[in-house]
Amino acid sequence: MRLSDDFISEVKYRNDLGELAASYMQLKRRGRNLVGLCPFHGEKTPSFNIYTENGSFYCFGCGTGGDVITFIMKIENLDYLEAVKFLAQRAGMSMPEDDYDDSMSRLRTRIYEANREAARFFYQKLGEREGAEGLAYLRGRGLADTTIRHFGLGFAPDSRFSLGDYLLSKGFTEAELIAANLVFKSRSGRGVVDRFYNRVMFPIIDVRGNVIAFGGRIMTDQKPKYLNTSDTIVFNKSYNLFSLNNAKNSKSRAFILCEGYMDVISLNQAGFTQAIATLGTALTMDQATLLKRYCDEVIVCYDADEAGQKATARAISILRSAGLVVRVLRIPDGKDPDEFIRRHGDKGHAAFKNLLESSGNDVEYRMYQLRSGFDMTTPQGRLGYLNEGVKLLSELDNPMERDIYASKLADETDVAKPSIMEQVNRLTRRKTSARRKENFKKIQRDLSARDDRVNPQHADNLRAVTAEENLIAFLINNPDKLGHIDGNLKPENFITEFNRKLYVYFYKRIKNGQEPMTSVSADFTADEVSKIYRIVNSYSSIGSTPQALDEYISIILAEGSKLTSRDIANASADDLDAYLKKLAEQKK
């Protein structure tokens, strides 16, 4: 069974895509459409388009497209049914009962429930005798009981079966707990074994308040010191951020990016609720894109050691690419935020606030890092710093930024600013030329369709695919012309299998009196949905004439009658003779 078209149509009608998207991103009107920076990939120039006439979107940067259901699936990391439920609830609608196979959705719900129950279990154990060591550790790190309760911190007992046995007694199955990565199968046949034991536990909560995973710190010298939940159907460590649920509710639009859980928690306790951290991995582009929805600026506050500085340099590049303003906070004496806050006690808030206010932007930080690597008392050192500084300035997109820091570089090296700018401009022109060449290569790849994963036959059938896609778009926009198309073209006349599948799909829906696009998000993969909406939204009204339709049909028939090089190699003399006669007749 599946959700009815009438119900899906009503859900879409009651959830205007433009209005919904505006709650996640900034949009500007351009003619009849809305445009903005894509929320699904980092970009500086808007390429995300919302087509208000048909309630769909398409990003010409990353190639993601769809309808309002697809948008919620992507931005909230939901499956199809969960996205429909989300939108139905938003519109005050009730979901039909027993009308959809929701086995995956039910599993996801059970994982959320198991994680929530596990968080309660860990929190309870922290206050019992088994958790005394963990509670002492947290209090020794300066955390108040209110902070421990606010973050739901807990303790996993030093047993390999306590959590699993507890959750099984609550009615969860072994399969559900394994899917949640809370336990794994015992090699001894004892059933399931706890993933976390003898660890202080940090629940990871998404922006909707669901416990999606855990991080645990071991109480011994055993490695790894920190252990995180592996990826599950509700959690992806490269996509989520620790304490984003708190940061999004802060008044600040400048978030503080830390390395670890304790840094974030200490900063929260000191009043900086906009602190967040990655989850045991380096910052990813997906996380930066997620941050862009909730803040405009990120202050990177990583450790001062070599690994921390490398991570800072990498984070700066990623955050800038996502269109975020970046600053870097350097803590004196190489301390991390947690140590700094505890060291200053009651004055921790004021002391850290001073650091925040005096933190420089990422360019100043990178210039400082470059300068510290050279002996500025020697000509060779100044020249080395100058060469690296010029490279850095050539990477800046903003001409005013380049001008300001060229002045700073000139003062530091005693070299005339015009000479520096000449070198910067030379490198900038070279990089601009390289970008143009890369963009040209991308256009060539797009035109050649070599990277078309959805329709792999595209590259070898460029003319045919153009006609097939135009005909499909024509049919969607003019379903009343199905009879004419059907009378002149059959599915087997389509050259590419993917477009043949699309034609059959829309043919059947129109034949059955259904709106063509209503259930596309349910019936195709995410990549296929994006492809379909690209076809629909790239279609020009100029090609919507009866003459254009007949031309599409003619091209498809003509392309289908052509022999490929392989056909020619395998054809008999009689076959080739018949083929040549057919071509001659077509030209008459």
Query: What are the extents of the domains in the chain?
Result: 5-90, 104-228, 244-360, 373-438, 462-587
pLDDT of residue 183: 97
Asked whether 285 and 316 are in contact (CB, 8 A), the reply is no
In the block, residue with structure tokens 């599993």? 107
pLDDT of residue 44: 83
Note the CATH architecture for domain 462-587.
Orthogonal Bundle (1.10)
Distance of alpha carbon 174 from alpha carbon 162, whole angstroms: 14
Per the structure block, which two tokens stand in for 179?
């899917």
Asked whether 367 and 409 are in contact (CB, 8 A), the reply is yes
Backbone angles phi, psi at 72, to 5 degrees: -70, -40
Note the CATH architecture for domain 5-90.
Alpha-Beta Complex (3.90)
Distance of alpha carbon 280 from alpha carbon 228, whole angstroms: 7
Tell me 235's DSSP state.
B
Is 3.40.50.740 the CATH number for 244-360?
no
Count CA atoms closer than 13 A to 256's CA, side-chain side: 31
Distance of alpha carbon 281 from alpha carbon 302, whole angstroms: 13
Residue type, 286: D
pLDDT of residue 587: 46
Domains 5-90 and 104-228 share a fold: no
Distance of alpha carbon 311 from alpha carbon 330, whole angstroms: 14
Asked whether 164 and 177 are in contact (CB, 8 A), the reply is yes
Q: For residue 275, list its beta bridge partners.
A: 256
Question: 3-class SS at 130?
Answer: helix
Asked whether 228 and 279 are in contact (CB, 8 A), the reply is yes
pLDDT of residue 542: 60
Q: In the sheet that 297-301 helps form, which strands lie side by side, from edge to edge?
A: 275-277, 254-258, 297-301, 325-328, 360-361
Rg (CA), the chain: 30
Homologous superfamily assigned to 104-228: DNA primase, catalytic core, N-terminal domain (3.90.980.10)
Tell me 479's DSSP state.
G
Backbone angles phi, psi at 24, to 5 degrees: -115, -20
Classify each residue of 476-509 as buried b or exposed e, where b means 16 or more C-beta atoms within 10 Å of its C-beta: beebebeeebeeebeeebbbbebbbebbebbbeb
Residues whose CB is less than 8 angstroms from the CB of residue 215 and which lie 6 or more positions away in sequence, other chains included: 201, 202, 204, 226, 227, 228, 229, 242, 261, 279, 280
| Dihedral sign computed on CA atoms, order 108, 109, 112, 117 | negative
pLDDT in tens, the chain (588 residues): 578 999 999 999 999 999 999 999 999 999 989 999 999 998 888 999 999 989 999 999 999 999 999 999 999 888 898 899 999 999 999 988 755 556 778 899 999 999 999 999 999 999 999 999 999 999 999 999 999 999 999 999 999 999 999 999 999 999 999 999 999 998 877 789 999 999 999 999 999 899 999 999 999 888 889 999 999 999 999 999 999 999 999 989 999 999 999 999 999 999 999 999 999 788 999 999 999 989 999 999 998 888 888 899 999 999 998 889 999 998 887 778 999 999 888 898 999 999 999 998 999 999 999 999 999 999 999 999 999 999 999 999 889 999 999 999 999 999 999 999 999 999 999 988 988 888 777 777 777 777 888 999 999 999 999 999 999 999 999 999 999 999 999 999 999 999 999 999 999 999 999 999 999 999 999 999 999 999 999 876 666 788 999 999 999 999 987 755 455 555 566 655 665 565 455 444
Residues found in the chain: 588
Distance of alpha carbon 126 from alpha carbon 481, whole angstroms: 69
Asked whether 233 and 107 are in contact (CB, 8 A), the reply is yes
| Dihedral sign computed on CA atoms, order 230, 236, 238, 243 | negative
pTM for the predicted model, two decimal places: 0.79
Long-range contacts of 573-580 (CB under 8 A, 24+ apart): none
Residue (of 266, 89, 118) closest to 180 by Cα position: 118
Residue type, 341: I
Residue type, 582: K
Per the structure block, which two tokens stand in for 187?
């090699």
Distance of alpha carbon 152 from alpha carbon 148, whole angstroms: 6
Residues whose CB is less than 8 angstroms from the CB of residue 320 and which lie 6 or more positions away in sequence, other chains included: 326, 362
Kindly give the pairing relationship between strand 297-301 and strand 254-258: parallel
